[in-house]
Amino acid sequence: MIPYVYHASYSELALPPNHRFPTTKYQDLYEYLLESKFAKAEQFHFPDPICSEELFAIHDPNYVKELINGTLDSKMMRHIGFPWSKGLIRRTLHSIAGTRLTASLALEHGCALHLSGGYHHSHYDFGSGFCLFNDLIFAATEMQKKYGLATVLIFDCDVHQGDGTASLGQNHEGIVTCSLHCGKNFPARKMHSDYDIELEKETPNLPYLETVSQTFEYLIRLHQPDLIIYDAGVDVHKDDDLGYLNICDDGIYQRDTNIFSIAKHNDIPVAAVIGGGYSRNRPELVNRHYQLFKAANHVFS
Ligand SMILES: [Zn+2]
């Protein structure tokens, strides 16, 4: 049984009306999965929140303290894109813990999936694009410390560049960062990942799938990672509100199936997070994230 990681706090966030962050998608996905043939209640793991001090290992302690206490500069809060609230901090500390738990379950079981995560626009001392703290880098460094892993590959297929992951990754030995994203999209100022693949606007399924698989196989051959953290953002979808690629539901399913098959074939554990997805049509959005779970079950069950 593939372990899934979820917490109710992910969807407990009060936002102004018409805010574009799809707060309810986490709970919707959880419920959708429980009704599907790909999830049983006992498959789910529920993380305890991290202590905020644990974040000092990857973030500026002042930034962490100010954000946790609600005293961060209002301009910096606007850059993140959320109004400060206790619920925001609570869900964030659970989400960061969730990605770490997913990584450790992946090491134990070969594959684990997180119904949140992918906060890749979070930098050392500032956040942006709905990302407060960087769960991907945090989980990678925690797994290195706990299990002595030499190399962790963060493979980011969200449609936006993982700029925070790129810059933070440079501070840590043994983390290889790769971002495949639409070149003309947020963030305007790109950072340098170890590998950046910029895709043209309107890239359709076939060249996209080839690029993803070839890049992934190449990086595995070259770096032989001990763990893969995979950001399976679905904002690559043709109908996403914030993406410009031309990928359909089946393209997402194929992408994720290829990733899992290649990881399994190479016997490398893979921890996946759902990443971005911003359609206002909630059932369609949930079905897009569901493709990740379908793909993992196809490959690992
Ligand atoms: Zn995104």
pLDDT, one tens digit for every residue, the chain (301 residues) = 999 999 999 999 999 988 999 999 999 999 999 999 999 999 999 999 999 999 999 999 999 999 999 999 999 999 999 999 999 999 999 999 999 999 999 999 999 999 999 999 999 999 999 999 999 999 999 999 999 999 999 999 999 999 999 999 999 999 999 999 999 999 999 999 999 999 999 999 999 999 999 999 999 999 999 999 999 999 999 999 999 999 999 999 999 999 999 999 999 999 999 999 999 999 999 999 999 999 999 999 8
Can you give the pTM of this predicted structure?
A: 0.98
Contact between residue 226 and residue 271 where contact means Cβ atoms under 8 Å apart: no
From ligand 1's centre to the CA of 231, what distance in Å?
Answer: 10
From ligand 1's centre to the CA of 3, what distance in Å?
Answer: 24
SS3 5: strand
pLDDT at 44: 98
From ligand 1's centre to the CA of 127, what distance in Å?
Answer: 14
**Would you say domain 4-300 falls under CATH 3.40.800.20?**
yes
From ligand 1's centre to the CA of 148, what distance in Å?
Answer: 30
From ligand 1's centre to the CA of 276, what distance in Å?
Answer: 4
Helices assigned H by DSSP within the chain? 25-35, 61-69, 74-80, 86-109, 135-147, 163-169, 205-223, 249-265, 282-300
For the chain, give the number of residues.
Answer: 301
The domain spans of the chain are 4-300
The number of beta carbons lying within 10 Å of the beta carbon of residue 253 is 17
From ligand 1's centre to the CA of 42, what distance in Å?
Answer: 30
Q: Annotate 97-136 with b (16+ C-beta within 10 A) or e (fewer).
A: bbbbbbbbbbbeebbbbbbbbbbbbbbeebbbbbbbbbbb
pLDDT at 301: 86
The CA–CA distances, whole Å, from 107 to 53, 146, 255, 297 equal 25, 11, 22, 17
From ligand 1's centre to the CA of 199, what distance in Å?
Answer: 14
pLDDT at 297: 98
pLDDT at 150: 98
From ligand 1's centre to the CA of 233, what distance in Å?
Answer: 6
From ligand 1's centre to the CA of 277, what distance in Å?
Answer: 7
Contact between residue 216 and residue 155 where contact means Cβ atoms under 8 Å apart: yes
pLDDT at 288: 98
From ligand 1's centre to the CA of 94, what distance in Å?
Answer: 20
